[in-house]
Chain A
Amino acid sequence: MKQQKTFSTTGSIGKSFLWLLPMTLLIVLFTTGGKFSFDDKVSLVAFLISFIFFNWLFFMILYKGRTDRYRAAGFIILALFFALTFIVNLIQSRGSMTFSNETLLACEIPFCHIVTTMVILPLIFTGSIIFPGQITGGFAPIAGMLVIVLGVMLALGRGFCSWGCFYGGWDDATSRILKKPVIKKVNPAFRWAAFAVLIIVVIMSAISLGPTYCDWLCPFKAVTEFEKVTSTIILMKTIVFVSLFASLVIILPVLTKKRIQCTTFCPMGALCSLSNKINVFDVRIDREKCSSCMKCTTVCPTLSLEKSDVEKGRPAMTCMKCGKCIDSCTKNAINYHIKGTPVGKNLTAARMLFIFPAFTLLVIFTAGTMQQGIILLVKLFTTGSLF
């Protein structure tokens, strides 16, 4: 694949290393947390593994000129290790993955980014946050998470869903298990389903003054925390989220090779899609180079590319900027693009300006989690227990 001209790093070890250097500094910063001291040898080893891993990932993105497969490696590790460390921490502090009335009354529930969609309308009308969490302090406090959501949405738009979301790696992983999809055709109309979920949960949450998606629908409670089953209603809720996890996160992504949960059911994804409209980065198709082979439409994991989108020269607003269509294009017709600049020009600059903040986000979310996860795994192998 021929990249553009002088500044392209593809195939050039020297240029790739040069561009890697600033990222290395960021990786050091975010893997050490600014403190270059380690509690023990295991922590040091965990740091070294994560440091080498992220440098290698970014180097390969630069050297190979491909984004998606290396992004996915980090992204999937984020999802797996996040679940591992979160669950272990929960069991150590509470004794189980469940939360009870006591946790709710103490307002100690971590504020997940998906809750953002549900608090906006009540915030406007009631001047308060409808979530049993801490404003500041503790793990994932409300103010801190809102700052992160706002910053990331402004910077990357729906790129958050491919580079930062610690849940997305689940269906990203399951969608890659099979080489070919069993269900070959998925109606592209399903890409709008998440907007319906967004409308409904926003409205229901506003009416009930409670986070409806979290309470009734979130499939990722299966890998984080959930309500202790003490009544038939809670049992029903448990059946619902386990079924949704099994179907939307495992079974359907395996069969379709699409990120079904993120595409059809995530209200935060829909909100981030709206932010794509104001985000400076997007993906564009150079119609002069495009041969209309439509390969990109088959590989897009979020149904954001269909024939009409290719003809228009851009994916739908639901594009997560994962880079899969870019990597699949044999004519180098699809690339990251900066709005306001000509399409098909200065491709390297556009790519670099996007993947730097995107990869930094991936490092920030994954580094600490990965190191904690490695420490836990070492503990498991050496002592036979995670606790």
Chain B
Amino acid sequence: MKRLLTIPAYLWAIACLLLIPVTFIGNESFAGQMAKLKFMKVNPVYTGGEITDSVNEPDLDTYIYKPVFEALIGESKEGFVQVKFSSPSDTLPEIITKTIDYNLDDSNDFILEVNTATGKTIVTSMNPLVEDVNISSRLKNEWVVRVGLKNLLK
């Protein structure tokens, strides 16, 4: 019996010996396959979620994202909505003032004022669910603002 075990044991060890170079040589291919799996996506807490609406103007494009209330199970009681400003000419205006309807119910929820030179961002809430600015930052040639929200369902 003991002798019977030694053969698969050695075979397993040889397989491990080969596994190391194979893992690295084939890393790009394996990673590519793994990336196609459904769960291989970064959580919206980091990506900001999906774009639900956009407003295109001659000097400024505004992208409104779906509110993010990510939790391990269900939804959290607090989250955020991401708004991105982008300029077709790659140069953002110094002062951006925009009224945002994040939940697309035809009523304005907050006013964003962004000074892209200093980074100062003010949010004026018109909806009790809207809280304060979480993040306001340049992202390459764009500007991203995340505004805190309370979850209606909680």
- B-binding residues in A (CB < 8 A): 26, 29-30, 100-102, 104-107, 121-123, 125-133, 135-136, 141-144, 146-148, 150-152, 154-156, 206-207, 209-210, 279-281, 338-342, 349-350, 353-354, 356-357, 360-361, 364
Contact = CB atoms under 8 A, between A and B. Distances in A.
A106 B16 contact: no
A155 B45 contact: no
Contacts of B17: 155, 353, 356-357
B116 to A, nearest CB: 13
B153 interface: no
Contacts of A147: 23, 27, 30-31, 34
Contact of A342 (B2, B22, B42, B140): B2
B75 to A, nearest CB: 11
Per DSSP, are chain B's interface residues mostly helix, strand or loop, or mixed? helix
Contacts of A156: 16, 20
B13 A148 contact: no
Q: Closest 6 interchain pairs by CB?
A: A151-B23, A340-B9, A143-B31, A101-B137, A128-B43, A132-B46
Contact of A340 (B5, B14, B40, B42): B5
A357 B41 contact: no
Contacts of B8: 340
B44 to A, nearest CB: 7
Interface string B15-31: 01101111110011011
Given A143-B40, A338-B9, A341-B10, A131 B46 contact: yes
A178 B48 CA distance: 50
Interface of B: 2, 5-6, 8-10, 12-14, 16-17, 19-24, 27-28, 30-32, 34-35, 38-48, 70-73, 135, 137-140, 144
Contact of B39 (A127, A209, A281, A350): A127
B19 A105 contact: no
Contact of A280 (B16, B28, B43): B16
Contacts of A155: 16-17, 19-20, 23
Contacts of B39: 123, 127-129
Contacts of B72: 121-122, 125-126, 206-207, 209
Nearest to B17: A357
A133 B31 CA distance: 14
A104 B137 CA distance: 10
Nearest to B44: A128
A126 B137 CA distance: 27
Given A143-B34, A210-B45, 11 more contacts: A105-B137, A123-B39, A128-B41, A144-B27, A147-B34, A151-B24, A209-B70, A209-B72, A280-B16, A341-B9, A357-B19
Contacts of B34: 143, 146-147
Nearest to B37: A143
A154 B16 contact: yes
A209 B47 CA distance: 13
A88 to B, nearest CB: 23
Given A135-B35, A136-B35, A144-B27, A105 B48 contact: yes
Contact of B47 (A107, A126, A144, A340): A107
B42 A361 contact: no
Nearest to B14: A353
Contact of A107 (B12, B35, B46, B135): B46
Contacts of A104: 46
B49 to A, nearest CB: 11
Nearest to B12: A280
A144 B48 CA distance: 23
Given A125-B73, A280-B13, A135 B19 contact: no
Contacts of B32: 136, 143
A204 to B, nearest CB: 11
B40 A148 contact: no
B45 A341 contact: no
25 contacts: A29-B21, A30-B24, A101-B135, A105-B135, A107-B46, A107-B47, A126-B70, A128-B41, A128-B42, A128-B44, A132-B46, A135-B35, A136-B35, A148-B23, A148-B24, A152-B23, A154-B16, A155-B17, A155-B20, A340-B5, A341-B9, A349-B10, A356-B17, A360-B21, A364-B24
A369 to B, nearest CB: 14
Contact of A209 (B10, B23, B45): B45
A144 B31 contact: yes
A353 B42 contact: no
A341 B92 CA distance: 68
